[in-house]
Amino acid sequence: MNARSLTPLLLLLSISTLLPSSFQNPSTKLYPGSSHRFAETLIRDLNLIPGIQEIDGDSPADDPSSPRLVERKLKLDILGDIGSGISIEELGQHAGYYQLNHTHAAKMFYFFFESRGSSSDPVVLWLTGGPGCSSELALFYENGPFNIADNLSLIWNDYGWDKASNIIYVDQPTGTGFSYSKDIRDLRYNEKGVSNDLYDFLQAFFEAHPKFLKNEFYITGESYAGHYIPAVTERVHRGNKEKEGLQINLKGFAIGNGLTNPSIQYGAYADYAYSMGLIGEAAHKKISKIYPICELGIKLCGSSGVITCFASYVLCNSIFTSILLVAGNINYYDIRKKCEGELCYDFSNMEKFLNQKAVRDSLGVGDRKFVSCNTLVYEALITDWMKNLEVGIPALIEDGIKLLVYAGEYDLICNWLGNFRWVESMEWSGQQAYSAAPMLPFTVDGEESGQLKTFGPLSFLKVYNAGHMVPMDQPKAALAMLKRWTKGSLEYEEHTSLVAEI
Ligand SMILES: *[C@@H]1O[C@H](CO)[C@@H](O)[C@H](O)[C@H]1NC(C)=O
Ligand SMILES: *[C@@H]1O[C@H](CO)[C@@H](O)[C@H](O)[C@H]1NC(C)=O
| Residue having the nearest C-alpha atom to atom 11 of ligand 2 | 101
Phi/psi for 456 (5° steps) reads: 55, -130
CB-neighbour burial class of residue 325 (10 A; exposed 0-12, middle 13-18, buried 19+): middle
Beta-strand runs (E) in 324-446: 330-331, 334-338, 402-408, 440-444
| 279: in domain | no
CA distance readout (Å), 361 to 74, 114, 497: 10, 21, 44
Residue 99 CA to ligand 2 centre (angstroms): 10
What domain count does the chain have?
1
Helix axis angle for 262-275 and 291-303, nearest 10°, is 160
Give the separation between CA 386 and CA 90, rounded to whole angstroms.
Answer: 45
Give the separation between CA 500 and CA 269, rounded to whole angstroms.
Answer: 50
CB-neighbour burial class of residue 57 (10 A; exposed 0-12, middle 13-18, buried 19+): exposed
Give the separation between CA 387 and CA 300, rounded to whole angstroms.
Answer: 10
| Residue having the nearest C-alpha atom to atom 3 of ligand 2 | 204
CB-neighbour burial class of residue 90 (10 A; exposed 0-12, middle 13-18, buried 19+): exposed
Ligand 2 atom at shortest distance from the alpha carbon of 98:
5
Closest listed ligand to the CA of 349: 1
| 167: in domain | yes
Beta-strand runs (E) in 257-353: 330-331, 334-338
Q: Which of 200, 206, 243 to mutate to test the pocket of ligand 2 (most atoms within 8 A of CB)?
A: 200
CATH number for the domain spanning 195: value is: 3.40.50.1820
Give the separation between CA 117 and CA 112, rounded to whole angstroms.
Answer: 15
| Residue having the nearest C-alpha atom to atom 4 of ligand 2 | 204
CA dihedral 148, 151, 156, 158 (to 10 degrees): -70
Closest listed ligand to the CA of 79: 1
DSSP 8-class letter at 143: I
Give the separation between CA 79 and CA 88, rounded to whole angstroms.
Answer: 11
Residue 19 CA to ligand 2 centre (angstroms): 49
State whether the Cα torsion 270-271-273-278 is positive or negative. positive
Distance of alpha carbon 209 from the chain centroid: 24
Tell me, what's the pLDDT at 494?
A: 61
270 CB within 6 A, ligand 2: no
Residue 153 CA to ligand 1 centre (angstroms): 6
Q: Which residues are catalytic?
A: 223, 411, 468
Residue 353 CA to ligand 1 centre (angstroms): 14
Q: Is 438 helix (H, G, I), strand (E, B) or coil?
A: coil
Beta bridge partners of 408: 463
Beta bridge partners of 167: 113, 124
Contact 418, 267 (CB under 8 A): yes
- The alpha carbons of the chain give a radius of gyration, in whole angstroms, of 22
Residue 95 CA to ligand 2 centre (angstroms): 20
| 374: in domain | no
Number of Cβ atoms within 10 Å of the Cβ of 83: 15
Ligand 1 atom at shortest distance from the alpha carbon of 79:
7
Give the separation between CA 485 and CA 490, rounded to whole angstroms.
Answer: 5
> What pTM does this model have?
0.89
- The pocket around ligand 1, CB under 6 angstroms, is made up of 79, 149, 151, 153
Contact 121, 164 (CB under 8 A): yes
68 CB within 6 A, ligand 2: yes
Residue 241 CA to ligand 2 centre (angstroms): 18
Contact 405, 255 (CB under 8 A): yes
Beta-strand runs (E) in 100-156: 107-113, 123-127, 146-148, 154-156
| 213: in domain | yes
CB-neighbour burial class of residue 144 (10 A; exposed 0-12, middle 13-18, buried 19+): buried
- Residue 413 structural domain: 69-261+387-487
Tell me, what's the pLDDT at 69?
A: 87
Question: How are beta strands 166-171 and 107-113 bridged, if at all?
Answer: antiparallel
pLDDT tens, residue order, the chain (502 aa): 343 444 444 445 555 444 444 333 444 555 443 333 333 333 333 333 222 222 223 333 445 567 888 999 998 899 999 987 888 888 999 999 999 999 999 999 999 999 999 999 999 999 999 999 999 999 999 999 999 999 999 999 999 999 999 999 999 999 999 999 989 999 999 999 999 999 999 999 999 999 999 999 999 999 999 999 999 999 999 999 999 999 999 999 999 999 999 999 999 999 999 999 999 999 999 999 999 999 999 999 998 878 999 999 999 999 999 999 999 999 999 999 999 876 789 999 999 999 999 999 999 999 888 989 999 999 999 999 999 999 999 999 999 999 999 999 999 999 999 999 999 999 999 999 999 999 999 999 999 999 999 999 999 999 999 999 999 999 999 999 999 999 988 987 765 444 444 4
Ligand 1 atom at shortest distance from the alpha carbon of 153:
1
200 CB within 6 A, ligand 2: yes
Q: Which of 59, 65, 68, 203 to mutate to test the pocket of ligand 2 (most atoms within 8 A of CB)?
A: 203
Closest listed ligand to the CA of 208: 2
Tell me, what's the pLDDT at 65?
A: 63
Give the separation between CA 13 and CA 401, rounded to whole angstroms.
Answer: 40
Give the separation between CA 262 and CA 414, rounded to whole angstroms.
Answer: 10
| 171: in domain | yes
Ligand 2 atom at shortest distance from the alpha carbon of 204:
4
| 345: in domain | no
Give the separation between CA 63 and CA 445, rounded to whole angstroms.
Answer: 54
Q: Is 259 helix (H, G, I), strand (E, B) or coil?
A: coil
Give the separation between CA 186 and CA 193, rounded to whole angstroms.
Answer: 9
| Residue having the nearest C-alpha atom to atom 14 of ligand 1 | 151
Q: How many helices (H) and strands (E) does the chain have?
A: 17, 16
153 CB within 6 A, ligand 2: no
Beta bridge partners of 123: 166, 217
Tell me, what's the pLDDT at 342?
A: 67
- For residue 381, give the amino acid letter: L
Closest listed ligand to the CA of 154: 1
Give the separation between CA 37 and CA 27, rounded to whole angstroms.
Answer: 7
Tell me, what's the pLDDT at 500?
A: 45
Closest listed ligand to the CA of 155: 1
- For residue 87, give the amino acid letter: S
| Residue having the nearest C-alpha atom to atom 14 of ligand 2 | 101
Give the separation between CA 354 and CA 248, rounded to whole angstroms.
Answer: 32
